[in-house]
Structure 1
Amino acid sequence: MYYMGMFLFLEEIDMILKKNIVKNYIYTFVSSVAVTDAIWMLFLAYRGMSLLEIGILESIFHISSLLMEIPTGIVADRFGRKTSRVMGRVLALVGTALMLSSHSFWMFAVAFVFSSLSYNMESGAGDALVYDTLVEIGESNRYMKIKGIIELCFQTAKTSSLIIGGWIATFNYELGYGISILINVLAIISALSFKEPTVHQTDQKKVSMLGHIKGSIGVIRDNAQILDYVVFIESFSLFHTTLFFYFQNFLKGKGFSETWIGVTLASASLLSILFSTRAHWFEEKFGRYRIIRTSAVATLIALAGIAFLPMEIAFFIMISCIDGVLFVAFSDYINQLIPSEHRATLLSFQAMVFSLLMILYFPVFGWVASSFGFKAGFIMVFFTSVPLMGFTFLRLKNTIRDTEKEKEV
């Protein structure tokens, strides 16, 4: 009777945890509705910020993120992914309110710090909550497909936001930030509904924070492949994100209205959605090595097209399609290599690498674009992408081939 009761109890826990997956789809959609994405750089320019100041503000965002990524990842590992998520949404609410009320560089800087902290709280906790939920119910092999659906929810929200945000901007920039405050309140309510998985909690409260950091470093030291995957995907994300944000101002300079800027960015996001939902198919059909090799070559071709040809929009859309596949695939590749008790911390480390790259790169692009024109900035992106992505691809190549040969045997 005792064993039957225990079995039913565990089965009930599994059912509750499984609801995390659907709840995460809802949360991802709600929290990703950001009508300010299509207009935030235009809003800052409207409030008197120069391209260089905008670049510096973005660097402040990433400096804050760099400093707080590991501590917030430890919060998620030690005190819960759900706790981290709720705190992140509260910080996002504060950051949005500050953006709406700011009129000076330093007030915007404070707003960016709060937004950065909200990003930190989510960056490691979100994927960790989903992956550990799947580990706990014995379905981790479904992660890439589920991650594709998560990306579908994310990109659908982002695409809708770009169109709606661009349309709202034709009337009033401030209205977009007012709507974002309401959305953040809804996201907080959604975040409170999750059930915390327990697979990562074994003895974590007994380990000191310093001990946790040492353990996380040890994981990377024992498996250098993690670092290679992180550097490759975050290098790609650096170039894609830089282009995405500055593309708003580039298109505005070419005479596009805010509505058409939103439609253009939304079109790129729609195709990214399509490719992200098929990432598991690409993995099954072509394998890890071919996905990474093809994406590296295609990325360099697209960046060269943006830099040297008058077809910037077409090649930007091509980059977005590649992003759809790589974002989902690499999330799975990296999670497979990380133990649950260090998952949020190491995923935060991944986000920290991105922040470090953005701190160094984003304001430099802003200075080049404002001094010599956007085309000069695009040329810089191409010539920096060749060594960075090429080097990490070469490091991954032999390891991936050896891994796939072992699977075949």
Structure 2
Amino acid sequence: MNHKRKLNLKKQLACIYTADLFSGLRITDAVWVALLAARGFSLWEIGLAESVFHVVSLLCEVPSGMAADLLGRKKTLVSGGVCMVLQSLLMAFASDLFTICFAMGLNALAMTMFSGTSTALLYDSLKQEGCEEEYIQVSANGSQISMLANAVGSMASILNRFLGYAGFYLLNAAFEGASALANMLLAEPIVTESQASREKHPLRALPEQFRQLVRDSLHVLHTCPMAVKLIASSALISVPSYLTKMFLQQRLVELGWPTELLFLPLLLGGLACVAGTEIGRRVRCRSMRRLYTACALLCGVGTLLVGAAPAWGGILGMMLVQGVLEVYLLHESQKLNDAIPSDQRATLISVDGMAYSLLMIPASPLVGAVGDAFGQAGAGLALLGGVIVLSGVALLGKKPQES
């Protein structure tokens, strides 16, 4: 096709993997609450900053995907990297709550720029070279690099006496800057006429282009029930992902674990994700319905273990949830990308992320409220695990519609 140009796929993947490595080294993720508390910020102020993050995430998830589809995936990724560097610098020198909240908002904006865009750029890079069938393998490589880097980053708390508050965020800014530089070396994949003509459109045409993109994306969702089912399934089965890690820490404290050892479940959870990705790349999925049933049953059991088992049983349950989710989401991402058009790819993958956020808004306080009502953090997780199991059981006996 005349709009296609040759792409150096080896160089493209090297840039993607490098960006995954440095963006995964977010050494502040595991300690940001403790760092702010040590500077005198109260828990409600820290909670407010976290709320700002989630509000911005929800509001910007789909618009950022639309920007990536209309203006280019590379530009969006680089812009997200710049936002990450700025938020780290702001956090390093912030002395008031407003600046902290503003930095958290920038962080959320950057994350929405990455969420659907990086997947869309990777898939279309492979598609431009006719290598879409390699998506699971390549995506698994990037995920494992990022997760291993994240596991290393989670251990950065031992550097507290050497780095201090500002040092953590300045080093974080350096890592994010390296990731942004890797993204700057990317080539923009071009697989449709619309993508090839992006630079020719005047700025005054953007509002109408946005409206047309909304119409086209809604049309895809209306005419492609497979995409809707995939989005709904990934949102539901992903709910225990963060909640099991979050409430496991509280359960371990209730069971007498010292705070110094709470990094261990996070580290083991990260290793489980790496193992799950490795298993996922080796699984041959003939039916997403059957895969969801199996994964939902395992995730539900894992969530039940986190909520009700003794300490090490809870940790094993959390690891089961994290690993199984990687298996399902790897194949869900492949199937969703196969089902949607390139021109709306980043937008619709962002809808995938927004669906998860919409479920998390009620699920998180509900799980906590059930735990408070029963006087133990695990009660809400036990209920959630039952819901996930039932979602898998509900599909048992139904004939798969896809091959």
Question: Which TM class, normalised by the smaller chain length?
Answer: 0.7 to 0.9
Q: Which residue of 1 aligns with 2:341?
A: 339
Selected match of 2:159 from 168, 180, 186: 168
Superposed CA offset, 1:59-118 (max 9, x none): 321211111112111110011110000000111112222333345544432222111100
Separation (CA, whole Å) in 2 of partners of 1:365 and 1:53 = 22
Q: Which residue of 2 aligns with 1:275?
A: 276
Which letter maps to 2:35?
F
| 8 Å Cα contact 1:305-1:315 kept in structure 2 | yes
Separation (CA, whole Å) in 1 of partners of 2:305 and 2:92 = 37
Separation (CA, whole Å) in 2 of partners of 1:368 and 1:107 = 34
| 8 Å Cα contact 2:276-2:322 kept in structure 1 | no
Deviation at 1:322, TM superposition (A): 1.1
Superposed, which structure 2 residues align to 1:279-358 within 5 Å?
279-284=280-285, 287-310=287-310, 311-358=313-360
Moved more, 304-313 or 242-251: 242-251
Which letter maps to 1:317?
M
Question: Structure 1 residues 23, 389: CA separation in 2 closer, same or farther (over 3 Å shift)?
Answer: farther
Matched, 1:127 2:127: no
Which letter maps to 2:378?
F
| 8 Å Cα contact 2:297-2:393 kept in structure 1 | no
Superposed, which structure 2 residues align to 1:379-394 within 5 Å?
379-387=379-387, 390-391=390-391, 394=394
Question: Structure 1 residues 31, 119: CA separation in 2 closer, same or farther (over 3 Å shift)?
Answer: same
Question: Structure 1 residues 261, 103: CA separation in 2 closer, same or farther (over 3 Å shift)?
Answer: farther
Which letter maps to 2:230?
Y
| 8 Å Cα contact 1:17-1:195 kept in structure 2 | no
| 8 Å Cα contact 2:126-2:132 kept in structure 1 | yes
Matched, 1:178 2:182: no
Deviation at 1:28, TM superposition (A): 0.8
Q: Which residue of 1 aligns with 2:223?
A: 222
Superposed, which structure 2 residues align to 1:187-206 within 5 Å?
187-200=179-192, 201=195, 205=201
Superposed CA offset, 1:23-54 (max 9, x none): 21111111111112221233344345566655
Superposed CA offset, 1:241-268 (max 9, x none): 123245455556644344x333331122
Q: Which residue of 2 aligns with 1:407?
A: none
Question: TM-score with structure 1 length normalisation?
Answer: 0.85
Superposed, which structure 2 residues align to 1:8-27 within 5 Å?
13-27=5-19
Superposed CA offset, 1:132-185 (max 9, x none): 01111101011111111111111111111112x232246665132232111111
Separation (CA, whole Å) in 1 of partners of 2:19 and 2:79 = 14
Question: Structure 1 residues 242, 313: CA separation in 2 closer, same or farther (over 3 Å shift)?
Answer: same
Question: TM-score with structure 2 length normalisation?
Answer: 0.86
Separation (CA, whole Å) in 2 of partners of 1:92 and 1:161 = 16
Separation (CA, whole Å) in 2 of partners of 1:313 and 1:300 = 14
CA RMSD across the alignment:
3.0
1:151 is paired with a residue whose SS is helix
Deviation at 1:325, TM superposition (A): 1.1
Deviation at 1:361, TM superposition (A): 3.5
Separation (CA, whole Å) in 1 of partners of 2:48 and 2:329 = 26
Question: Structure 1 residues 136, 15: CA separation in 2 closer, same or farther (over 3 Å shift)?
Answer: closer
Which letter maps to 1:84?
T
Percent identical among aligned pairs is 23
Q: Which runs of 5+ in 1 are unaligned?
A: 1-5, 405-409
Separation (CA, whole Å) in 2 of partners of 1:105 and 1:65 = 19
Q: Which residue of 1 aligns with 2:401?
A: 402
Which letter maps to 2:272?
L
Separation (CA, whole Å) in 1 of partners of 2:11 and 2:72 = 17
| 8 Å Cα contact 1:232-1:389 kept in structure 2 | no
Which letter maps to 2:52?
I
Q: Which runs of 5+ in 2 are unaligned?
A: none
Superposed CA offset, 1:353-397 (max 9, x none): 22223333445556676x569x73432133245446744874798
Which letter maps to 1:42?
A
1:196 is paired with a residue whose SS is coil
Separation (CA, whole Å) in 1 of partners of 2:388 and 2:52 = 23
Which letter maps to 1:14?
K
Which letter maps to 1:167?
I
| 8 Å Cα contact 2:240-2:384 kept in structure 1 | no
Question: Structure 1 residues 44, 125: CA separation in 2 closer, same or farther (over 3 Å shift)?
Answer: same
Question: Structure 1 residues 271, 377: CA separation in 2 closer, same or farther (over 3 Å shift)?
Answer: same
Separation (CA, whole Å) in 1 of partners of 2:230 and 2:187 = 30
